[in-house]
Structure 1
Amino acid sequence: MKIFSYDNKGNKSLIEFDRFTFSGGEEHVRFNPEDFLATVKVEIFERLINSSKLMRLMLAVDALRRLSHDAISIELVIPYFPYARQDRVCVEGEALGSAVMASFINNLGFSKVTIWDAHSDVSPALLKNIVNVSQISLLEKCDELRQRLARGELALVSPDAGASKKTMKIAEEFGGELEVIQAQKIRNLKTGEILKTDILGEVEGKKILIADDICDGGRTFIELAKALKKKGAIEVSLFITHGIFSKGLSVFEGLIDAIYTTDSFRSAEEYPSNSKIKLNIIEM
């Protein structure tokens, strides 16, 4: 977690603070009051990827409010919105995870909450004072990828129907000149296993960019890359806003040639390296 203080002239400074975990598992956060004498606004940046970070966030907000007697504005930047994929109740008895997380954030009373490339329209609709940074805005920060798209080197592939809207927005950003090819996956509804991936277009001899918002284990992109290479694609790249890569990068070897992602889920130095895959981290 990073805490930034702003004074009334807009000057921004990083605040150091103490935090630790007690032996019983309880989190502790403590600030130095003197660091906030000229503060009119605080911005908290955090990658909320586990429950300990959620607890520390709640403690930090409480400490800051007590310290300032609620006199300062507190903003939150959480690039990756946790539980965003749990945006519907598929089976009776399940929780609506995105609503639970949104309620947690809303109850902390932030004056602004910034997230990057929401998984669907559900999370932004549930959050108060929300700013949703678009995937296009993030892509624009990567000069190499932006230039390749501007030159028309890459054909866009949407991995499934859910990603089609995002893929079309990328094409529109570059004047609608980029070719967009739709893919669709057929799953076993009981196991979730991908049985088949169909490519609804011609990819032979083309350099392909697959675009989506989240890559976790990567099964969708592995199966799609296999189908693209089988159909004659000469290069397959992947642009993912939130690169979780829970199975590492080795699972993409021989299939994905380059990966572009942001530092939303972890800092650039924490990403795994792989000599066979070109990894480009867009640092914000």
Structure 2
Amino acid sequence: MNTINLIDPSKSDIRFTTMIFPDGQPHIKIDVESLLVLDHSAPARIFTRLSSANDLMLALFIKNTLDYQGFEKVELHVTYLMAARMDRVMLAGEPFSLKVIASILNNANFHRIFIFDPHSEVSTALIDKSYAVTNHQYVKDCLDDYFKKSGACNYCLVSPDAGALKKIHKLAQALGVEDVVECMKERDLKTGALTKFTTVASSLQGKTCFIVDDICDGGGTFIGTAKMLKEKGAQKVVLIVSHGIFGKGTSLENVDAVYTTNSFREVPDVVQMPIDNYL
């Protein structure tokens, strides 16, 4: 597929240069000579993060440029979708941010949009011609890597909260894992404070617990969950997240190993899987 890769330009079929104007506006110039040998009726792919407003604008500018150059089918492959967690109006006075982003993307009229492990099904419901790419192969690769390094063990998959529950049961079914542990917590939407970490599991003695979720931001959910799992007898706690923001760093108390991708950014000091393996 004819690709413009904004995460790793060396993997692009279409050559381009980017810059930021003094007023902060992103800009792109595509090398039109690199387009001459390409089939304009075949799909062209923009492979990018949408982590910021500038990322979004750059993707839209590229779509516009490819339209002018006569490409008939332009796809957007999104490694990280901004505002995906704001999939409703959380509190009075706050926006429905995901709906705003979806409206902008819909107006661009992409041929198709693929999103890696979006936060909820609301993303694909709001964005026209969009498709969720699951985390199944990614999690399998993380498990394989851990077992290769540490050896086989008695393990379970852990859902850290109600929001992750539906996904983790689909994941367990896809991977053939029977042992799934369900955890719960309470969050104060006004302050963000997390309390009352609980699980239905009575004992996790000697088990390696793989917490699986889509995003790690501050890490409070996983620190609280890991502490509770260790208190239940877990021998090791491993975190597998698709999108590593790590706003407070990657050192998470009671978490023995961390896996993520470079969907949001490059993350040092953890095991990072390349996102282009999965999208």
**Distance change in 2, residues 1:24/1:263 (3 Å):** closer
Instruction: Give the secondary structure class of the aligned counterpart of 2:114.
Output: strand
- Equivalent residue for 1:60? 62
Match 2:47 to one of 38, 45, 66: 45
- Equivalent residue for 2:23? 24
Q: Does residue 261 in structure 1 map to residue 260 in structure 2? A: yes
| Segment of structure 1 superposing worse, 104-113 or 55-64 | 55-64
Alignment of 1:186-265 (within 5 A): 186-188=186-188, 190-201=190-201, 202-250=203-251, 252-253=252-253, 255-265=254-264
How far apart in 2 are the matches of 1:239 and 1:31? Answer: 37
Structure 1 residue runs of 5 or longer lacking an equivalent are: 5-11, 274-278
- Equivalent residue for 1:271? 267
* Residues 248 and 272, structure 1, Cα contact 8 Å, conserved in 2: no
The 4+ residue runs of structure 1 with deviation greater than 3 A are: 140-143, 145-148, 187-190
- Equivalent residue for 1:282? 273
How far apart in 1 are the matches of 2:238 and 2:229? Answer: 11
1:46-78 Cα shifts (integer Å, max 9, x gaps) = 11111122222222222222222xx43211111
How far apart in 2 are the matches of 1:230 and 1:198? Answer: 11
How far apart in 1 are the matches of 2:197 and 2:123? Answer: 28
| Segment of structure 1 superposing worse, 212-221 or 29-38 | 29-38
Amino acid at match of 1:18: T
How far apart in 1 are the matches of 2:236 and 2:226? Answer: 9
Instruction: Give the secondary structure class of the aligned counterpart of 1:192.
Output: coil
Amino acid at match of 1:271: V
TM-score, length-scaled by structure 1 = 0.84
How far apart in 1 are the matches of 2:27 and 2:245? Answer: 27
TM-score, length-scaled by structure 2 = 0.86
Amino acid at match of 1:140: K
- Equivalent residue for 1:159? 160
* Residues 87 and 99, structure 1, Cα contact 8 Å, conserved in 2: yes
Identity of aligned residues (%): 41
* Residues 238 and 258, structure 1, Cα contact 8 Å, conserved in 2: yes
CA RMSD of aligned residues (A): 2.3
Structure 2 residue runs of 5 or longer lacking an equivalent are: 6-10
How far apart in 2 are the matches of 1:144 and 1:180? Answer: 20
Corresponding residue pairs, total: 262
Amino acid at match of 2:36: L
